[in-house]
Chains A and B, each alone.
Chain A
Amino acid sequence: MAIATPVPVRERLERQWAERPGLLGWLTTTDHKRVGLLYFWTTLVLFGAGGAEALLMRTQLSSPNNHVVGPETYDQLFSLHGITMIFFFIIPMTTGAFGNYLIPLMIGARDMAFPRMNALSFWIFLGSAIFLYTSLALGTAPDAGWFDYVPLASRQFAPGRNIDFYCLALIFNGISSSLAASNFIVTILKLRAPDMSLNRVPLFCFAFLAASFGLLFALPALTADAIFLFLDRRVGTHFFDVAHGGSALLWQHLFWIFGHPEVYILIVPAFGIATSIIPAFTQHRVVAFPLVAIAELLVVFIGFGVWAHHMFATGLPTVTLVFFAAASALVIIPSTIQVFAWCLTILSGAARFKTPLLFIVGFILFFVIGGLTGIMFVAIPFDQQVTDTYFVIAHFHYIIFGAAVFPIFGGMYYWFPKLTGRMYFERPGQISFWIIFLGTNLLFFPMHIVGLDGMPRRVYTYPGGLGWGTYNLIETVGGFVTLAGILLLFGNLVWSFFRGMPVGIDPWHGPTLEWTISSPPPEYNFAVIPRVVSAYPNWDPPQRDGEPLVLDVGHEQPVTSPADGVLAEIADMPHESPWPILLAFCLTIVFAMLVIEKFAIAGIALGLCAIVLGAWHWQGAEE
């Protein structure tokens, strides 16, 4: 439904929306596509770090009584691996990179609802990542696991700064994620193209809406928990100190009130990517669209009521356990609705199994396998038996790597032509899928077996003669096979960036609005604001009725009503700004001072943040 626009209009829009060239342009950018790319490159580096940590652990565990790394280093490796992959790779990669780049394009907007806040959330994220990895450089990285249970993490048993870095890095990172989540919610509810009522919103956006609501309401529990722990450790409060009226279980409750929704926050964007790729490669509308949209939201909603199923082995009353087991079983319903909808869509359409769709098929397989082991945990005695064994590791890596990361890889291939204007190489792409698929199964499937054989997680080595050695060796080999596949994937993309065949606007005949504009998209995204009559606007005939909405006088963006998408006003969006990066810099100083307990300087830096924030909003006309 691409509509030709006159050249003068495009020139005017280009003048309006162009940003400063060069490095300064990137530092002050508010363009959601550039912010998305910044997120992409940063999270890719962090993915490399988290992957290196994983492979070091696998190397250490490849044979019994191995001594590649010692226990202290191993503790830091598995803690950092978890924290990095969850908070610094999957969430920022899905919401930060994919969400930022694609959501405005899919809803026909020219930017996010709060473009400067968007830049701010990236710079805060970067600050928190540097903050966390400074701890590794200092040799005091977090070492009590990603869920950091007290009393192991309390000052008495962990006197170093390791856990302080943990607490502060997660609070810091949480600020960024909360800002990003708020921005996505408002963008999806308010910035949709006119006439894009809720039933015409792409499922991708529903998934990101669900993830954003999850983040907004889950993160405060983690923040409160981390504040309590930091105060306990450095100010001498007694939240988790049983001897003074505190409770060690309080940590676990607050952590998992955050932590279980978190698991769904990781996976739901993957659902969104799947529901974008499947219709494009089957040329078929997603079966049961409203059910899938509701299921995406429902998964996250139910996710808030199941946290104690992570605590079946902590001695909670049986009635509590049974309640949470039943609530956990409820998640099966929306999950199954989606699995059937994906499969039926693939079967109903004329499926072309190109690389992106292969990754989605892999994702469905992993999601079902990981889901089945998940259902097993609902049986409380079984859960108590395998708690803290490799069986749990196998389960959640099938979900978090197999199901959450495979669509990220698939999405990279799928949107690569849109971002670069070039096509990736199909054959190496498919080979990379098969290598990663094989590697992932080699890596994680034997973990089920050693887990049932009783191998505990978080041990840096194990004695010979228990029959675990061979399985562990297979896992390690699988880890390196996966690495080879991922390297082939990125090698393919890098090579294609320079040598790939140029493609036009729409190589896949994709259903959503991003396939109606040039590749890569212009700064202003849409020269003419699209009018939308279905959730698959690129498959509809061009909408020619009514005056085309050009909006080329300023940074203009239509604002619509949240449910029906009725045009409400034309907003003038902010331009590029140096304030977000400055504010994030001051905030980084605050956290750096907190971790070395210079509370007075931290207070001054916080005052500086307030001044920057005031100055940021000083400009602008009085109304």
Chain B
Amino acid sequence: MNSRPVAWWGVMMLVAAEATLFGCLIGTYFYLRFSTPHWPPDGIAKPSITVPVVLALVLAASVVPLRLGNRLGIALALVLQAGYFAYAVHDFADRLRSFTPQTDAYGSIYYVLLGADHAHVAVGILFDLWLLARYRVLALRVVTIYWIAVAVLTLAVTGTLLSARA
């Protein structure tokens, strides 16, 4: 335990700051929800359950091949993550046709929360690509921690957004 490298501590600092940021976003979601009589507001359909859950699970599963600790594992994870990202962006654009961030506060926090999550996935994909070009053991360890954090945050974001069904 004591021999954790400085890089491990560094990425944990990043994770702590990012998790706090998402904590604030999720807190905002519920703050707005409990000061609004209808959630989601009239005219906006409740979020569907299947697609986001499957997507979040795919992203969570992508951490497993990263644990292989070699280039093949990174490539496998990248396929899952890029697939996730492509479908998530497609879904995001699709959703924009029925309501937008400008519709009301529900739309604002919905898209900002989802967008912040997607941005973290996009950054992670860049990390993967960089790792494939410049493979290093320590860097992979750091990126794996980043992906675990993103997977957990994605589950939290998905759960938050689906809570509108309740």
| A residues whose Cβ falls under 8 Å from a Cβ of B | 113-114, 117, 178, 181-182, 185-186, 189-191, 216-217, 219-221, 223-225, 227-228, 231-232, 235-239, 241, 244-247, 250, 253-254, 257, 559, 561-564, 566, 568-569, 571, 610, 614, 617-618, 620, 622-623
Q: Is the pair A237, B138 in contact by a Cβ cutoff of 8 Å?
A: no
B41 surroundings in chain A (CB, below 8 A): 245
B137 surroundings in chain A (CB, below 8 A): 623
Q: How distant is B68 from chain A, measured CB to nearest CB, in Å?
A: 16
CA distance A450 to B9 in the complex (A): 50
Q: Is the pair B2, A562 in contact by a Cβ cutoff of 8 Å?
A: yes
The number of A-B residue pairs with CB atoms under 8 Å apart is: 127
A564 surroundings in chain B (CB, below 8 A): 2
Q: Is the pair A245, B21 in contact by a Cβ cutoff of 8 Å?
A: no
1/0 contact trace for B89-110 toward A, CB 8 Å? 0000000000001111111110
Given contacts A231-B108, A618-B134, 16 further A-B contacts (CB under 8 A): A113-B10, A220-B23, A220-B24, A223-B21, A224-B24, A224-B28, A227-B112, A231-B112, A237-B107, A238-B108, A246-B105, A564-B2, A568-B3, A571-B6, A622-B134, A622-B136
Which one of B24, B28, B102, B139 contacts A238 once the chains associate, using CB atoms below 8 Å? B102
Q: Is the pair A236, B102 in contact by a Cβ cutoff of 8 Å?
A: yes
Top 9 nearest A-B pairs (CB, nearest first) are A182-B13, A561-B2, A245-B105, A237-B108, A220-B21, A224-B24, A220-B20, A246-B105, A236-B102
Q: Is the pair B5, A238 in contact by a Cβ cutoff of 8 Å?
A: no
B20 surroundings in chain A (CB, below 8 A): 216-217, 220-221
Asked if B32 CB lies within 8 Å of chain A CBs, one says: yes
Q: Is the pair B28, A254 in contact by a Cβ cutoff of 8 Å?
A: yes
Q: Is the pair B13, A186 in contact by a Cβ cutoff of 8 Å?
A: yes
Q: Is the pair B130, A617 in contact by a Cβ cutoff of 8 Å?
A: yes
B109 surroundings in chain A (CB, below 8 A): 239
Decide yes or no: A245 and B106 within 8 Å by CB, A237-B101, A571-B6 being known contacts.
Answer: yes
Q: Is the pair A186, B9 in contact by a Cβ cutoff of 8 Å?
A: yes
Asked if B76 CB lies within 8 Å of chain A CBs, one says: no
Interface hub of B14, B17, B31 (most chain A Cβ within 10 A): B17
Q: Is the pair B16, A217 in contact by a Cβ cutoff of 8 Å?
A: yes
Q: Which residue of A lies closest to B24 (CB)?
A: A224
A566 surroundings in chain B (CB, below 8 A): 2
Q: List 27 A-B contacts (CB under 8 A).
A: A113-B9, A182-B13, A186-B10, A186-B13, A189-B9, A190-B6, A216-B17, A217-B16, A220-B21, A237-B102, A237-B108, A238-B102, A239-B108, A239-B109, A245-B105, A246-B105, A250-B28, A250-B32, A561-B2, A561-B3, A571-B5, A614-B126, A617-B134, A617-B139, A620-B136, A622-B136, A623-B138
Which one of B5, B14, B24 contacts A182 once the chains associate, using CB atoms below 8 Å? B14
Q: Is the pair A221, B24 in contact by a Cβ cutoff of 8 Å?
A: yes
B28 surroundings in chain A (CB, below 8 A): 224, 228, 239, 250, 254
A181 surroundings in chain B (CB, below 8 A): 13
Q: How distant is A613 from chain B, measured CB to nearest CB, in Å?
A: 9
Asked if B48 CB lies within 8 Å of chain A CBs, one says: no
A238 surroundings in chain B (CB, below 8 A): 102, 104-105, 107-108
A189 surroundings in chain B (CB, below 8 A): 9
Interface hub of B24, B36, B138 (most chain A Cβ within 10 A): B24
Q: Is the pair A224, B25 in contact by a Cβ cutoff of 8 Å?
A: yes
| B residues whose Cβ falls under 8 Å from a Cβ of A | 2-3, 5-6, 9-10, 13-14, 16-18, 20-21, 23-25, 28, 31-32, 35-36, 41, 101-109, 112, 126, 130, 134-139
Q: How distant is A479 from chain B, measured CB to nearest CB, in Å?
A: 38
Q: How distant is B130 from chain A, measured CB to nearest CB, in Å?
A: 5
Q: How distant is A62 from chain B, measured CB to nearest CB, in Å?
A: 42
CA distance A228 to B116 in the complex (A): 12
Which one of A185, A220, A228, A247 contacts B13 once the chains associate, using CB atoms below 8 Å? A185
Q: Is the pair A559, B5 in contact by a Cβ cutoff of 8 Å?
A: yes
B139 surroundings in chain A (CB, below 8 A): 617
A235 surroundings in chain B (CB, below 8 A): 101-102
A244 surroundings in chain B (CB, below 8 A): 103-105
A614 surroundings in chain B (CB, below 8 A): 126, 130
Q: Is the pair A182, B17 in contact by a Cβ cutoff of 8 Å?
A: yes
Q: How distant is A305 from chain B, measured CB to nearest CB, in Å?
A: 14
Q: Is the pair B108, A182 in contact by a Cβ cutoff of 8 Å?
A: no
Q: How distant is A492 from chain B, measured CB to nearest CB, in Å?
A: 39
Which one of A224, A247, A571 contacts B35 once the chains associate, using CB atoms below 8 Å? A247
Decide yes or no: A245 and B104 within 8 Å by CB, A190-B9, A566-B2 being known contacts.
Answer: yes
Q: Is the pair B3, A569 in contact by a Cβ cutoff of 8 Å?
A: yes
Q: Which residue of A lies closest to B129 (CB)?
A: A614
A231 surroundings in chain B (CB, below 8 A): 101, 108, 112
A224 surroundings in chain B (CB, below 8 A): 21, 24-25, 28
Q: Is the pair B105, A239 in contact by a Cβ cutoff of 8 Å?
A: yes
Q: Is the pair A245, B36 in contact by a Cβ cutoff of 8 Å?
A: yes
Decide yes or no: A220 and B17 within 8 Å by CB, A568-B3, A569-B3 being known contacts.
Answer: yes
CA distance A219 to B20 in the complex (A): 9
Which one of A216, A217, A250, A561 contacts B31 once the chains associate, using CB atoms below 8 Å? A250
Q: How distant is A574 from chain B, measured CB to nearest CB, in Å?
A: 11
Q: Is the pair B24, A236 in contact by a Cβ cutoff of 8 Å?
A: no
CA distance A81 to B35 in the complex (A): 35
Q: Is the pair A236, B101 in contact by a Cβ cutoff of 8 Å?
A: yes
A117 surroundings in chain B (CB, below 8 A): 10
Interface hub of A186, A238, A254, A618 (most chain B Cβ within 10 A): A238
CA distance A219 to B32 in the complex (A): 21
B135 surroundings in chain A (CB, below 8 A): 622
B107 surroundings in chain A (CB, below 8 A): 237-238
Q: How distant is B149 from chain A, measured CB to nearest CB, in Å?
A: 14
A561 surroundings in chain B (CB, below 8 A): 2-3
Q: How distant is A247 from chain B, measured CB to nearest CB, in Å?
A: 5
Q: Is the pair A569, B5 in contact by a Cβ cutoff of 8 Å?
A: yes
CA distance A246 to B101 in the complex (A): 12
